[in-house]
Amino acid sequence: MKKTIFYVDGFNLHHGLLKDTPYQWLDLERFATALLPRPDEHEIVAVKYFTARIRYNPADPHAAFNQDRYLEALGSLAKVKIIEGFYKRFQVKLPFAKEPCKSCDKASYGIVYRTVEKRSDVNLATEMMADVMRKSADTFVVVSGDVDFAAPLCFIRHEMGLRTLVFNPHVNVCEELRRFTSYYKSISRDLPAKCQLPETVTLANGNTIHRPPAWK
């Protein structure tokens, strides 16, 4: 039985597989088990979920609330560990998508807000390497299509002699990730529908939370 840990890149999973679908109420334990080609050969030690709490946005006023409810629901799962980064917002000068009329005096650049997720990728790579050093598992699974994880995965596989798997939420193949891992596969588009949490989740304190209406 292989001791196995999953490292889930929440941002990459959301934008590659879940965004604009009704399947964001994802049960990460069931999802992890369903991803494995031979789940009966694995003992899943932990499913580590790396994310950052989004800020209130008037364009999508329920998004932050829905995420909070989801993280509470994930906290009820015994094997799931949530590791948070943060979002940073800053002003940046960017060119307009279309060139302005040459006869006008309009500037071709504008000042906009850009929001970026910080620390989650570093947290994931650091946590994975720490688990390697602690000998917490012998199989390490990354759920992401981010090429930045190629280097630590390559080290774990070739220098430490441990098994690495990558499940990419995106349709496009990431050749570097595939080259540096023991097993690589793009996630089936229909899998999240089969791995949903119950409509009502009971927390450890006895309180219940419900699936957000927008996610049904």
DSSP character string of 95-124: E-SSPPPTTS---SEEEEEEEEEESHHHHH
Band (50; pLDDT cuts 50, 70, 90): very high
Cβ atoms 153, 181 nearer than 8 A: yes
Q: Give the percent of the chain with pLDDT over 90.
A: 72
| CA-based nearest residue to 44, from 35, 53, 56, 54 | 35
Give the architecture (CATH level 2) of 2-86+117-215. 3-Layer(aba) Sandwich (3.40)
Which element (helix H / strand E) includes 203?
A: none
Selected residue with higher pLDDT from 59 and 213: 213
Is 155 within 8 Å of 23 (Cβ atoms)? no
Which of residues 161 and 115 earns the better pLDDT score?
A: 161
Instruction: Place 105 in a pLDDT band, splitting at 50, 70 and 90.
Output: low
Q: What is the pLDDT of residue 123?
A: 93
The structure tokens listed for 103 are 């006869």
d(C-alpha 23, C-alpha 187), whole Å? 14
Contact call for residues 102 and 84 (beta carbons, < 8 A) = no
pLDDT for the residue numbered 130 = 97
Q: Tell me which residue has tokens 């409509």.
A: 199
Secondary structure (3-state) at 107? coil
How many whole angstroms separate alpha carbon 5 and alpha carbon 136?
8
Residues 192-197: what's their mean pLDDT? 98
pLDDT mean across residues, the chain: 88
User: How far is it, in rounded angstroms, from Cα 42 to Cα 183?
Assistant: 14
From CA 41, how far away is CA 184, in angstroms rounded? 17
Q: In which region does residue 192 sit, left (phi positive, over 0), alpha (psi from -120 to 50) or beta (all else)? A: alpha
- What is the average per-residue pLDDT within 95-100? 64
Question: If pLDDT is split at 50, 70 and 90, which confidence band does 68 have?
Answer: very high
pLDDT at 184: 97
Mean pLDDT of 59-80: 89
Of the two residues 105 and 93, the one the predictor is more confident about is 93
Residue 18: the pLDDT is 97
Q: List the domain boundaries for the chain.
A: 2-86+117-215
Per-residue pLDDT of 147-173, as tens digits, reads 999 999 999 999 999 999 999 999 999
Average pLDDT over residues 61-77: 91
> Residue 62's pLDDT band (boundaries 50, 70, 90)?
confident
